[in-house]
Structure 1
Amino acid sequence: MSEHGPGPESRGQIDINPIPRIAVQAFCETRETAALIDAASSDRRMMRTHTKVHMGGLAAAVEFYQSAPTPNLVVLESREGRDEILTHLDRLAEVCDPGSKVIVIGHVNDIILYRDLLRRGVSEYMVAPVDLFDFLKTVSDLYAGPEAAPVGRTVAFIGAKGGCGASTICHNVAWTAARIFTSDVVIADLDLAWGTAGLDFNQDPAMGIAEAVYQPERLDEVYLDRLLAKCTDHLSLLAAPASLERSYDFEESAFEGVLDVVRTNVPLVVLDVPHVWTAWSRRTLRAVDEVVLVAAPDLGNLRNAKNIMDSLRHARPNDQPARLVLNMVGVPKRPEIKPEEFAKALEMPVLATVPFEAHLFGTAANNGQMIAETDPKHPVGEIFRSIAVAMTGRAEVKAKKKSALAPFLEKLRGRKAS
C-alpha cells in the first residue's frame, strides 16, 4: 500500500522499467489525481501506452463499462469510505473484462480495506496524494517487473488447406480487434517466403520478422520498435520479406524468442501461420493461447481440418479446442459440405461462416485495404467483429462481463447468504 513517494534526492535512482503498449483508463475524483495521471502519461516510460483520463471516480467507471470493454489497466480514485468502495467494486466486477488490472487510489489509510481489495483481485491500493514516480513504479512493476506475467495474448491463424483464405481472415480480424478495443495489436507474418500481410496493408517495410528470427540476440523492445511497420494507430506489422533469395529452413524453436519479446510488450499478438506442417509450426501452434483454424467447405479441407484438430487436441489437452471458421461459403455452382455437417464431422461448432464475396474481397486486396475500409456497412465486418471478440476473450459491447474479481465476489456472496 503506497502512501508517500520518494524525496527529490532519490528519484533519479529509482529503477522504473518502460511500460509496454497497454491501454490505460483512469476515473478520478480530484483534479490533483487527474493531473498526476496526465503527467505520468507524458513520461518517457509511459510513451507506448494509450491513456485516457475521466472524471467521476468509481461510480462513473461502473456506468462507463456497462457499454464498453475494459482496458488493460483501470485506475480508480475514490474519496469514499471502505464500505462504499467495496460496494462499487462489487458492481465493477460484473462488467470488467478478464485480464484487466485495477489500481485503486483512495483517501483513507486503511489496512483492512487494503486486504479486502487484494482479496477481490485489485492489483494495488495507493493512498492520495500519490507521487508521480511512485505511480510510475507501481504500473511498471505490474507489467514490467521481474514477476509480471507477459502482457500479450497470442492467437494463431492457420488454414486447413492452401488457398482457403486464412491470411485474409487473420488480417481482417486483427485489424478489427485493434479498432474496436483501441488496444495495440501486432500481426506477425510467419510465411517468410510468400507472406501477404504487407500487401494486404499496403506496406513495404525494409525490415520485419526475418531480422528478428535471424538475429535473436539483438531483439529487445527498442529493436522491436524499429522492426514494426505501423498500419493504424493501434495495429503494427512484423512483415515477411516475401523474397526467395534464401531458403527458410528453421529449427523447432526459431520463433520462440521473437514471440516472447513481442508478447511482453504488446497486449495482442496475432500470428499468420502458413499452411505447412513442420517442427516449428507445430511447436508454435502448441504454445499459443488460442488457435483459429480456417477452412473452406470441401472434402480436402475437411480431411485436413480433422487431422489438425486431432493433433492439437493431443498436443493441447488442457486447452480448449481450436476455433473453426468456414470461409468462402456459397461459391456459385460449387458442391459444398454444409456447415452443420462440417461441424458434426469435426465434433465441434463453427465459430463463424464467412460468405464468398469475390468482388468485395478482391477489391479490398487490390487496394491494400481491410473489408470494413472497403465497405464499412457490409455484414462481413460484423462477422470479423464476432471472431475478434471470441479470440481475445474480451466481452462484447453492452454484454455482461466478468473479471478475475468475480470468483472472490461469488465466495463473499455465498458467505453472506449462509
Structure 2
Amino acid sequence: MSAEAQKKRIALISTDREFVKETRVAFATSEAIELVVIEKPVAELRGEVQQAEAGAIIVDIDASQIGDIEALQRLIRKLEGRTPVVVVTASFNAAAARMLVQLKVADFLVKPVTTADLVRSGIRALHGPGREENPEAQIHTFVPAAGGVGNTTLALQTAFQLHNSVLHGASTCVVDLNLQQGACAEYLDLEPRFDISEVESQPERLDRQLLDVMLSKHASGLCVLAAPTSPTEMRTFDTEIVVRMLDLVSAYFDNVVIDMPRTWFPWTEAVLLGSNKLYIVTEMTVPCLRQTQRLIQAFHQTVGREVHPGVIVNRFEQRRFENGVKQSDVEELLGEHFVGGISNNYKLVREAVDRGVPLHEIDPEANVVKDLKRIILPDEAKAVATRSRSLFGYRPGFLKKAG
C-alpha cells in the first residue's frame, strides 16, 4: 500500500481564511495525516463531508449563534456517531458549553487557538479515546560539560519545542535540579515555588495537590518545577525525595525536561538511568571537549553502557581556514556521541533571557531554533526543511528507559 493510501484524513470546515491557512501549514508537517478543507458555512453543507471520507472532522462555528448550533446538530446526526467532531469557536459561554457536551463532540477549542493544540485535538479524535501511543512520559535530560555552555537555555527551548510540537506536543514540565542555584525560573521571569524543605522530612507528602501548588506556570502553558536560589548554601538532598518528585512529575506530564547541575550527587545516577534521552551540552573549545570526553567515560563507568549520551555542541561555528577547533575535529573526537551543533546567536539568546520569553517568540526562523529542532524533533524538522545540513546525526530512541 502506498504512503498516500495509508494517510488518515481530517476534514476542516471553515470560512475563516486566515484560520484555514494556519491549519494547512500545521498539518503539512505530518506525513501520516491529510487535511481536506471544505470552505463553506456548516449550515450550507450538503454531501461534502461524506465525500471527504474523513476519520475526524474539525468544524469552525460561532457557538453563540443558534443557527450554527442547529447546523452542527444536523451534521452530527448525519454522521451517526461514526466520525468524531472537534469544534472550534470564536464565541463561547456556559450555554454553548452545555450544548457541545450534550452533542458529545470529541473536543472543543476557543479562538485564538494555537495550531499545535488544534492538531493534537485532531490526532486524538482520529485515535479515539484510550488509544494514546506513548503512555509513559518522555524524559529529556541535559547535563552541562562546564559552566556557561548554555545548558539551561537549550533545556528550556527543548521544552518549548516539545510542548508546541505538532507530532509530539503535549503537557510538558521543566524540572530544575540545580536545587541551590538554578536559573530556569529566572530565564522565564517566573517565581520559583518548589520548597523542598516542606517534603524533605516526609517525602510521602509530595502528591499531585502539593505539586500543583509548587509548579510555576508560563503563559505558554509550560510548567516549571524550580526551587528558590540559595547562593550561600551548598548541600545535597536524599535520593528518595528527588526520585519521588520525578516519578510524580512523570505521572502527570507527557514530556519532562531536566536541567542537571554540574556537580555529581547521590541521585544523579538514578536520573541518568531514568532518562529516555540524555544530552551533554558543550562548546567548541579544547578544555570543554576534553571534559565532555571525561563525562562520557564517567557515565559508562558508573551507570553502564546502556546510557548512551548524545553531545550537543553549543555556539557551533564551522571553521575551515582559521586556527582552532573545526567541525571535523569535533566529529573525530566525539564519534557517534556527537548529535549536532547549535549556531552561535548570542544577541537572540540574550534578548530572550532578558524578556523571559522563548527564542521562537522573538524569531521562529532563527538558526538556533532550527538547529535544536533538527536534534530534538528530527521528523518534524525534515518535514518543513528546505534543505538538510551536515550537523545533524541524531537517531531517535537511542536511549533505553530504565524500568
* TM-score, length-scaled by structure 2: 0.60
1:4-40 superposed Cα distances (whole Å, 9 cap, x missing partner): xxxxxxxxxxxxxxxxxxxxx98269726478988xx
In the TM superposition, residue 214 of structure 1 has moved relative to its aligned partner by 6.0
Counterpart among 123, 140, 155 of residue 155 in structure 1 = 140
Gaps in structure 1 of 5+ consecutive residues: 1-24, 44-50, 55-64, 77-101, 104-134, 400-418
C-alpha spacing 1:36/1:72, structure 2 compared with 1 (3 Å): closer
* SS of aligned partner of 1:175: helix
Counterpart among 184, 193, 200 of residue 197 in structure 1 = 184
Q: Which amino acid aligns with 2:298?
A: S
Gaps in structure 2 of 5+ consecutive residues: 1-32, 34-54, 59-74, 88-96, 99-105, 110-115, 386-403
| Residues 85, 125 of structure 2: 8 Å contact kept | no
Instruction: Tell me what 2:151 maps to.
Output: 166
C-alpha spacing 1:349/1:317, structure 2 compared with 1 (3 Å): closer
Instruction: Tell me what 2:76 maps to.
Output: 31
Counterpart among 355, 367, 372 of residue 384 in structure 1 = 372
Counterpart among 281, 296, 306 of residue 268 in structure 2 = 281
Q: Which amino acid aligns with 1:273?
A: M
| Residues 253, 283 of structure 1: 8 Å contact kept | no
Instruction: Tell me what 1:255 maps to.
Output: 242
In the TM superposition, residue 276 of structure 1 has moved relative to its aligned partner by 1.1
1:82-139 superposed Cα distances (whole Å, 9 cap, x missing partner): xxxxxxxxxxxxxxxxxxxx44xxxxxxxxxxxxxxxxxxxxxxxxxxxxxxx6xxx3
Instruction: Tell me what 1:366 maps to.
Output: 354
Instruction: Give the count of matched residue pairs.
Output: 288
1:49-72 superposed Cα distances (whole Å, 9 cap, x missing partner): xx7469xxxxxxxxxx9xx98789
In the TM superposition, residue 188 of structure 1 has moved relative to its aligned partner by 0.3
1:337-375 superposed Cα distances (whole Å, 9 cap, x missing partner): 223312211222532212222222222222222222233
Which of 271-280 and 149-158 deviates more?
149-158
**For the residues of structure 1 that align with 2:381 and 2:318, how far apart are their CA atoms?**
33
* SS of aligned partner of 1:327: strand
* SS of aligned partner of 2:295: helix
1:243-281 superposed Cα distances (whole Å, 9 cap, x missing partner): 246543123444111111111111000000011122212
C-alpha spacing 1:233/1:213, structure 2 compared with 1 (3 Å): farther
Instruction: Tell me what 1:339 maps to.
Output: 327
Instruction: Tell me what 2:259 maps to.
Output: 272
| Residues 69, 395 of structure 1: 8 Å contact kept | no
C-alpha spacing 1:227/1:350, structure 2 compared with 1 (3 Å): same
| Residues 193, 227 of structure 2: 8 Å contact kept | no
In the TM superposition, residue 323 of structure 1 has moved relative to its aligned partner by 1.7
**For the residues of structure 2 that align with 1:235 and 1:369, how far apart are their CA atoms?**
11
* SS of aligned partner of 1:271: strand
Counterpart among 74, 83, 97 of residue 124 in structure 2 = 74
Instruction: Tell me what 2:163 maps to.
Output: 178
In the TM superposition, residue 207 of structure 1 has moved relative to its aligned partner by 3.7
Q: Which amino acid aligns with 1:162?
A: G
* TM-score, length-scaled by structure 1: 0.58
Q: Which amino acid aligns with 2:270?
A: R
Q: Which amino acid aligns with 1:176?
A: Q
Q: Which amino acid aligns with 1:242?
A: T
Q: Which amino acid aligns with 1:219?
A: L
**For the residues of structure 1 that align with 2:156 and 2:199, how far apart are their CA atoms?**
20
| Residues 343, 371 of structure 2: 8 Å contact kept | no
Q: Where do residues 344-359 of structure 1 align in structure 2 (5 Å cutoff)?
A: 344-348=332-336, 350-359=338-347
Q: Which amino acid aligns with 1:74?
A: R
C-alpha spacing 1:212/1:262, structure 2 compared with 1 (3 Å): farther
Aligned-pair identity (%): 21
| Residues 84, 125 of structure 2: 8 Å contact kept | no
**For the residues of structure 2 that align with 1:249 and 1:380, how far apart are their CA atoms?**
34
1:310-335 superposed Cα distances (whole Å, 9 cap, x missing partner): 2334524345x212111123499x96
| Residues 217, 223 of structure 2: 8 Å contact kept | yes
Instruction: Tell me what 2:215 maps to.
Output: 228
Instruction: Tell me what 2:289 maps to.
Output: 302
C-alpha spacing 1:153/1:52, structure 2 compared with 1 (3 Å): same
* SS of aligned partner of 1:347: helix
**For the residues of structure 1 that align with 2:262 and 2:147, how far apart are their CA atoms?**
6
